[in-house]
Amino acid sequence: MLGITGVLIPARRIDMKVGDMPVLQQLAEGIGGLETIELADSLDGQDIRGIQFLEFAVQIFILFVEILFIGDGESLAMLEVQKMTGRSITTTLVLQDLPLDDRTIPVHSDLEMVRDQSIHLRNGHSELYPYQDRLVLLSPRHHLAKLRGAGQHLQVLPYFTPKGERHAYHDPEGLLAKDRRHEWWRKYGAASGKGFQGLPAELDRDNLMDITRQPLLNYLVALSHGRGKLDFGETNTLNEIYADLLAAVHERQWEGGRRHAGSGDLEEDQFVRILEEIALAIWHGDGRTTTVDAIRARCERGRLTKYLEQFTEGAKQGVTRLLTAFYFRQAGDIRGERTFEFTHKSFGEYLTARRLVRALARIETMSARHDEDPDDGWDERDALQHWAEITGPTAMDEYLYEFVQREVALRGEKQCRAWQGTLCRLIAWASHPEKGMPMERLGLGSFAEMLRQSRNAEEALLALHSACADQTKDVMEIHWHSPTAFGAWFKRLQGQGDGSQNTLAQSCLNYLRLAGCRLDFMNLYEAQLAGADLRRAGLFGAILWYAQCHGADLRGAGLGGVDLSRTNLRGADLSEANLIGAGLGGVDLSRTNLSGANLRGANLRGANLAYTRLTNADLEDADLEGVDLRAAQNLCKPKNLHKARNLDSKLFEALR
């Protein structure tokens, strides 16, 4: 075990304006008196999968971002590390690329110093710090991950680890049970003068836990909380917090409400619009960086050139340092072109999600105009072309999808209902074997690239439909070309999996109308089918392990011989369904409608039939071992109950 105490010492002189000294004093009170932090340690590196290390450094980093804004060079923190054995270890911690603010000048330090110090340490001698034992570089530069080697990579844990995640760590002393968010907020309260005694009660909620337990995101919550514009007593999401921070950047509240020069005199909606387009250009690239030329080309296609010029001119005068620090910055050159980089991936995902929702809103508007006047607006091919331009180059992943879900939810049920109807039309068109996506309009150059981008765009249609349907809880009509049209289309979106990893499409089938569709032998492993309309659907031989079918309409569905033992069918309607020989052992069928279902030979061992409707259900030869039928409804009305196997004889006599 290690204990760490220490204070931050700048490596170079920092010029501050008058009035900054109280800030330093507050910092010293907030950090200098830091209590000992316990860190999980392992000599052989094999016992620990997560190491609670560098937390002190992260706290220093975050507090400096907020309070000192020291230069975009490096600053050194001398940490006296006292091992429990009594040996003193001096660590030089290099905090690289911290954001710059108008109050300070850059603090420059050459990375060669880091290299030289590392060499000296290997040789057992450091000219700068002769008693130094180790050198730590803490940097937001993602390419420095390439420097990782054996014994050089430590995992920084969040401030709080939920009980359900602790099994992944070797933690014999129970260190993960401590909620360090309260400690952070106490120190933040001391440093900021706000006097927090711990995590504010309005922030100590389950829906904010994933935000407040991450160091940077927790800090952003603190900024948003300090603005007082969001009511944290209501449900808040990371989308709302990021939106609030964007508004803060534009308004520059800490400078008397004067608009920051970096916004280039753009209105807030114009300012955010440019950021969305930059995010889209980055998403279309490698997800982290993009070139200035790519941003310019993207803005030209979006007819935003005028805004970009205003924004860029503002940037030359000094783009807000908070935006530069947390959102994106100039990252270097690619083939001689300047590049921008997101320093926090989730902010790029947030802006990209906003851009995708904006594209959907435009499609809905233009489609409505076309419905009123065939000479105006967009038909399905025009709409799908626009959608492919926005969503085709890169496949949506689960992290972006979560931001999309939250962004859609913010628009309200009425708007989601209109969008869902539009998406149903586009899905029907895209899946039609004689229509499909108009990829020939995009000038992609190769058939393979057309296929790839078409697949990405079509999956995004399904994802947005899922996000909208989650809000409406409604199943809308989709005119499939034939009973096999959906299956053929969906298998193309699935592709060939690698192991058990699913594509996003399998998580986006909720509230989808699939009535009468042939889904025989379909791979629906872990599929999200909650509330889906599967009436009379053919599911013979389908894989439904761990599928979420709660509340699904499966009336008359063909499920003969299907293994449903790991399927969530709670509250589903299985009346008149063909369940001959189906595997239902141990399944929670509570409140399920099995009226008229054919359960001949089905395995119902240990199934939960509480409040299950069994009127006219055929139970001949069904295995009822361990099934408690006392709470089932209409228990005296099923057919052939006396022919079921392993039925409790006393219960049967009581029912006669």
When mean pLDDT is compared over 81-95, 301-315, 542-556, 612-626, the highest value belongs to 542-556
Higher-pLDDT residue of 454, 244: 454
599: tokens are 């359960």
Average pLDDT rounded to a whole number, residues 181-189: 93
Can you give the pLDDT at residue 32? 34
Residue 555, Cβ neighbours under 10 Å: how many? Answer: 21
pLDDT score, position 41: 34
Radius of gyration (Cα) for the chain, nearest Å?
A: 30
Q: Where are the alpha helices (DSSP H) in 228-291?
A: 238-251, 268-284
pLDDT confidence of residue 332 = 53
Which is more confidently placed, 12 or 25? 25
What distances in angstroms separate CA 129 from CA 12, 77, 271, one per listed residue? Answer: 15, 12, 47
Local structure of 198: helix, strand or coil: coil
Say what the pLDDT of residue 99 is.
Answer: 38
Q: Tell how far CA 98 is from the center of its chain.
A: 26
583 DSSP assignment:
B
Using DSSP bridges, classify how beta strands 88-96 and 132-138 pair: parallel, antiparallel or unpaired: parallel
CA distance 559 to 563: 9
Rounded average pLDDT over 127-142 = 50
* Nearest by Cα to 592 from 622, 616, 568: 568
Among 68-82, 276-290, 460-474, the range with the most confident prediction by mean pLDDT is 460-474
Of the ranges 59-63, 249-253, 594-598, the best mean pLDDT one: 594-598
Higher-scoring residue by pLDDT: 156, 434: 434
pLDDT of residue 20 exceeding 80, the answer is no
Q: What is the pLDDT of residue 550?
A: 94
Average pLDDT value for residue range 612-622:
91
pLDDT, greater one: 61 or 640: 640
Cβ(614)–Cβ(638) below 8 Å: yes
Q: Residue 119's Cα: distance from chain center in Å? A: 40
Determine the pLDDT at residue 344.
72
- Separation CA 584–CA 400 (nearest Å): 35
Percent of the chain with pLDDT over 70: 66
**Per-residue confidence at 487, pLDDT binned at 50, 70, 90?**
very high
Question: Residue 509 — very low, low, confident or very high, per pLDDT cuts 50/70/90?
Answer: very high
Helix H, strand E, coil C: the string for 602-647 is CECCCCECCCCECCCCECCCCECCCCCCCCCECCCCCECHHHCECC
Distance CA 6, CA 28 (A): 10
Question: Would you say 524 and 543 are in contact if contact means Cβ atoms under 8 Å apart?
Answer: yes
Highest mean pLDDT among 107-111, 335-339, 361-365: 361-365
pLDDT reading at 39 higher than 80: no
Question: DSSP letter string over 410-454?
Answer: TT-HHHHHHHHHHHHHHHHHHT-TTS---GGGG--SSHHHHHHHH
Position 500 pLDDT exceeds 80: no
For the chain, domains (ranges, CATH) are 2-157 (no CATH), 261-343 (1.10.10), 361-472 (no CATH), 514-656 (2.160.20)
The answer to whether 33 touches 56, Cβ cutoff 8 Å, is no
- The predicted structure's pLDDT at residue 151: 52
| pLDDT higher than threshold 50 for residue 331 | yes
Tell me, what's the pLDDT at 291? 74
What integer best gives the mean pLDDT of the chain? 75
Using pLDDT thresholds of 50, 70 and 90, give the confidence band for residue 272: confident
Does residue 80 carry a pLDDT above 60?
Answer: no
Percent of the chain past pLDDT 90, that is, above it, reads 41
What pLDDT, on a 0 to 100 scale, did the predictor assign at position 642? 81
Residue 543, C-beta contacts closer than 8 angstroms, at least 6 positions apart: 522, 523, 524, 525
What phi-psi label fits residue 34: left (phi over 0), alpha (psi between -120 and 50 degrees) or beta? beta
* pLDDT confidence of residue 655: 59
pTM of the complete model: 0.74
- Look-up of token digits 């449903």: 564
Q: Are 51 and 155 in contact (CB under 8 A)?
A: yes
**pLDDT at residue 154 in the model:** 60
| Structure confidence at residue 351 as a pLDDT band (50, 70, 90) | very high
Whether the pLDDT of residue 178 is over 50: the answer is yes
Whether 140 shows a pLDDT value over 60: the answer reads: no
- Asked if pLDDT for residue 300 goes beyond 60, the answer is yes
The candidate with the shortest Cα–Cα distance to 625, out of 652, 601, 599, 607, is: 607
pLDDT in tens, 360-398: 999 999 999 999 999 999 999 999 999 999 999 999 999
At residue 647, what is the residue type?
L
Q: How confident is the model at residue 277 (pLDDT cuts 50, 70, 90)?
A: confident
Q: What is the mean pLDDT of residues 257-284?
A: 73
